[in-house]
Amino acid sequence: MPKAPLLAPPGPPTISFHWDGAPVAACPGDTVASALIAAGELATSRSAKYRRLRGSACLHGGCGTCLVRVDGRPNQRACLTPVREDMRVEPQNTYGGLDPTALVDQVFRRGIDHHHLVVYPRIANQMMQGVARELAGFGELPDAPPEDVAGVVDHAPEVLVIGAGRSGRALATTLAAAGHPPLVVERRPAAALGGSDLPARLLAGVGVFACYPQERLWAAASEQPAVLHRLRPRHVVLAVGAHEPTIPLANNDLPGSCPHVASRTCSNRQVASSARASSSSARAPAPSCWRAPSPPSASRRRACAS
């Protein structure tokens, strides 16, 4: 793997994991995405329609462009998965190290739209669609069934706050002071939140995915451990923050193009890691800074076909 670091490391790396068979060094507090970015590995996937390179973009689990295979489990968000020693992280839809989309790139140098490719005759279109869907899938089934059966937990809070950002925390503090402590649900892991004002009743690493108004039911889930949360609150407050728009520039969808919030998230995580690593030092470390990413080299274009 080429060494082209794009982030200054917060300290000496103490964790080693494998990306597509190659060792990658990481620091405590890193996610798979931040460790790969620091190592210069930007591309992790492919777009389903035009097969353009994709990589970590929002860095908080909102876009889904950084799906990878982790220890045999497909479709894991690299930006929300903490690094662990000796974990195996792989791009999806590759075959023994061979990326079929590399061949597609050579034939269709301006990109490919499989919805309008080989439309006639019908039999040829059906064959082409079968191949295209196989290449543009979202990984293969897990290597093995999960060891534990997913659990189910029911909650009936008076107030449910979705989001543990600044607004969500401020509201939780105010409600708790008034004698109505809410249940706060946040899809980011607790390690990524930081701060000393975390709500007392916090479900971190849990993402809300559905609302059923007739049943007054909200559904959320966590992956590790695998738990389905059924929420029946009396009141609900959405404190999910804003979505930063993408600036309309050429190639703004390619790996390495990240909004300001994403770069700040990655830098804050590194600063937090540095602070923990040097807690005995009187001088706090300087914040890490992004360096302008160069276009991915040919060796860095081995990404999955999703």
Token reading at 33: 């995405």
Decide which of 106 and 77 is more confident. Answer: 77
Residues in the chain: 306
Q: What integer is the mean pLDDT of 207-233?
A: 93
pLDDT tens-digit map of 169-214: 999 999 999 999 999 999 888 877 877 889 999 999 899 999 999 9
pLDDT at 268: 60
pLDDT at 47: 73
Instruction: Check residue 301 and report its DSSP letter.
Output: G
pLDDT at 40: 87
Round the average pLDDT of the chain to a whole number and report it.
77
* Cβ-contact 165, 239 below 8 angstroms: yes
Strand partners, 7: 290
Token reading at 213: 């108004």
pLDDT tens-digit map of 234-270: 999 999 887 777 778 888 888 877 776 666 666 665 5
Q: What percent of the chain has pLDDT over 70?
A: 71
Strand partners, 25: 16
100-107 vs 122-135: helix axis angle to the nearest 10?
130
pLDDT at 271: 52
Instruction: Say yes or no to pLDDT of 216 above 90.
Output: yes
Strand partners, 202: 184
d(CA 248, CA 166): 28
Q: Give the contacts of 93 (CB within 8 A, at least 6 positions apart).
A: 46, 100, 135, 136, 137, 139, 140, 304, 305, 306
pLDDT at 265: 64
Instruction: Say yes or no to pLDDT of 147 above 80.
Output: no
Helical spans, DSSP H, in the chain: 32-38, 100-107, 122-135, 166-177, 260-277
How far, in Å, are 17, 60, 240, 265, 292 from residue 25 at the CA level?
7, 21, 33, 20, 21
Candidate from 68-77, 88-97, 116-125 with smallest mean pLDDT: 88-97
